[in-house]
Amino acid sequence: MFIKELAYIEIPTPNTTEVKNWLQHTWQGIGGVKVITPDGIRLQFESSTDSELSIFVWQLQRTSYLKIFQWGQESIPQGNRIKQQLLCDIRTAFPQKYPVPPEIDLSQQSIFSALAEDYPETVRFFQKMPNGEYDLNRVYWWEKRWRESVKNPQQPQTVIFEGNSCDDPQEYDLIYIGGALGVVHAAVMALKGYRVLLVERLPFGRMNREWNISRDEFQSLINLGLFTPEEFESVIATEYVDGFSKFFDAYNPPHLKAAVLHTPKVLNVAIDAEKLLRFCGDKLRQAGGDIWDETEFIRADISDTSVTVKLTHLPTQASKQATARLLIDAMGTASPIAWQLNGGRTFDSVCPTVGAVIASGFAPEVWDRDYGDVLNSHGDISRGRQLIWELFPGGNGELTFYLFHYHQVDPENPGSLLEMYEDFFTILPEYRRCDMEQLVWKKPTFGYIPGHFSTSDRDRTVAFDRIVTIGDAASLQSPLIFTGFGSLVRNLERLTTLLDTALQYDLLTAKHLNQIRAYQSNISVTWLFSKGMMVPTGKTLPPPRINSMLNTFFGLLANEPPEVADTFIKDRTDWFTFTRLALIAARKNPAMLVWILEMAGSKDMLRWLGSYWSFNLDALRNLLMARWFPGWLKQSQPWLEQQYPGLWLKLLSLNYQLRKAK
């Protein structure tokens, strides 16, 4: 007797019972006698009395999967034709759909009653959270704003206006819009003596994400004088022993199964984000800065000498304004400034991310709080997405969970936080065994994390005259696991030093401010990884495809010395290491090259070749210049900075690029 798998597909619906009933009672095959089974059907054939087709369905990750097996003493000649017919009929009966949240009027009903029909589990568990109604409103607002931005990429809202000279007094040197990442940067600049205003739409200090980092990366905040070592220890919620990365491989061929990747020094320090924000806010105020929270940005008017921002105080709806030398955009993915600066290519990808901080309720045997999941998948592609988990221990026995997927920015399918939350609350017990009713929910964590596929340090606009973007608004972070927080912290010295130089010499035009960016060529070349982890809108891929690709590469890292994986995941890899690992991966899984071409398309493959070419040139430049250029620049500073400040800023930016390339 032999058994052969003919097909394994994902059917994009959580209603597996409907699929099974359709298969058993509606679908008519082109041959065989249908025998109903508990999970599907068997097809028996008169010409092959000892051979059958077994077709069955099951549910995982709130979607349905189907397999067809042929088994018996001999092959079934019409087996492949039946398979093709069934797959075609399934795609017709159960097409891919991209849900849209309902339009709601919160003056007539609560957010809970408005969403209960479409997102019952989301409403049920948000009701268990201390500020659940407020936070679910935030989720809905964030998704609605993101969708509106994606649907009109060529017609972004105009929020930057150019005018004539302005006689208004400059109340501030710097105005920061966005108080999460913004306050970290703002506090450093305030400590340097600048007059700083921070504007935040929410009550200051509230966060809808937690932050993890490593000790050596956080050291930059200590070096800049924002924290003392003792103060750093006070904002650490916990520090875990090891972090794991493992992807589902039950349906991968044997050579594409991978060992667990251990990264004990990656994201192993959990930061109390709200405490860190309050700490930075205190430092900002002590240095003479101001914080206007619950205040929304409306527009910026640029003159020859200043920038004036128009604002609305949300509790009172009162109009406000302030004037400064420079505006810093730290509004994140939904920043209208970033959308206006970059038009239709604001972002190339996004990670819709949801999760929660859970105070208690997990049985001790479910998870040891000394360990974290850096990246984990417990199933294959689900409704056009490869869902990936992160799990980080927090303070006081808390656990922070994230569920996300890599996603192309598409007007028909922008990516849904509400749909992801319905997944999260439904499939969390599949990922980590738990009784959902016993969990104590502290707060949700959510957001859209953007990505930009850079081919050089000039293909994204991060500045306008008297405006510069940072963090997620600049979208220059790693495509692997770091968000704007990691990018900002790792590049804070670079960004603040360059900004300080620009302010000293009044180099505040777009030409000069575009030098102030966190671009790294070794990060830009890795955007193909994120491209290889997303299902293009409208396409159907074999369910194990993305897990096979992830296991190929992470399996290589698991077999390398620990410092190689640590360096790669922290975005410090060099040209030789990246190229060597890419060649090994191609040799181990030659099909991956075809898969990436199919998923990325020829246009993006050509763009990536441009990224890799820039990476090669940067590696060559680093080889030729890294030994002598920093010393020469330091010796030349006394005369070069004073006589040619614009050139000094450009060379100083180059020097930081050389340092990052090491």
Residue in 485, 441, 450 with CA at minimum distance from that of residue 126: 441
Topology given in CATH for the domain delimited by 2-93: TATA-Binding Protein (3.30.310)
pLDDT at 473: 61
Indicate the residue type of 92: T
Alpha helices in 333-372 (DSSP H): 336-342
Residue in 534, 379, 378, 383 with CA at minimum distance from that of residue 15: 383
C-alpha 70: how far from its chain's center? 41
Rg (CA), the chain: 27
pLDDT at 460: 65
Residue 497 token pair: 């030093």
Residue 270 token pair: 């959990």
- Which residues of the chain fall below pLDDT 70? 1, 47-49, 153-156, 164-168, 208, 333-334, 343-347, 452-460, 472-484, 518-522, 524, 659-662
In whole angstroms, give the CA distance from residue 193 to residue 159. Answer: 29
Contact 349, 450 (CB under 8 A): yes
Alpha helices in 192-327 (DSSP H): 215-223, 229-235, 273-286
pTM to 2 decimals? 0.85
Q: Which residues contact 101 (CB under 8 A, 6 or more apart)?
A: 115, 118, 140, 143, 144, 416, 418
Residue 58 token pair: 């099951």
In whole angstroms, give the CA distance from residue 239 to residue 235. Answer: 11
Residue in 353, 420, 423 with CA at minimum distance from that of residue 210: 353
Residue in 263, 261, 265 with CA at minimum distance from that of residue 551: 261
How close are the terminal C-alpha atoms of the chain, in Å? 59
In whole angstroms, give the CA distance from residue 179 to residue 162. Answer: 25
Residue 308 token pair: 């004036």
Burial 118-153 (b: 16+ CB within 10 A, else e): ebebbbebbeebeebeebbbbbbebbbebbebbeeb
pLDDT at 381: 96
pLDDT at 233: 92
In whole angstroms, give the CA distance from residue 127 to residue 121. Answer: 10
SS3 content of the chain, % helix, strand, coil (to 5): 40, 25, 35
Q: Which residues contact 47 (CB under 8 A, 6 or more apart)?
A: 77
Q: Which residues contact 207 (CB under 8 A, 6 or more apart)?
A: 180, 273, 274, 277
DSSP per-residue codes, 465-503: TTEEE-GGGTT-S-SSS--HHHHHHHTHHHHHHHHHHHH
In whole angstroms, give the CA distance from residue 479 to residue 452. Answer: 8
Other Cβ atoms less than 10 A from the Cβ of 206: the count is 18
Question: Checking DSSP bridges between strand 211-213 and strand 269-271, what pairing results, if any?
Answer: antiparallel
Domain boundaries, the chain: 2-93
Residue in 362, 532, 530 with CA at minimum distance from that of residue 431: 362
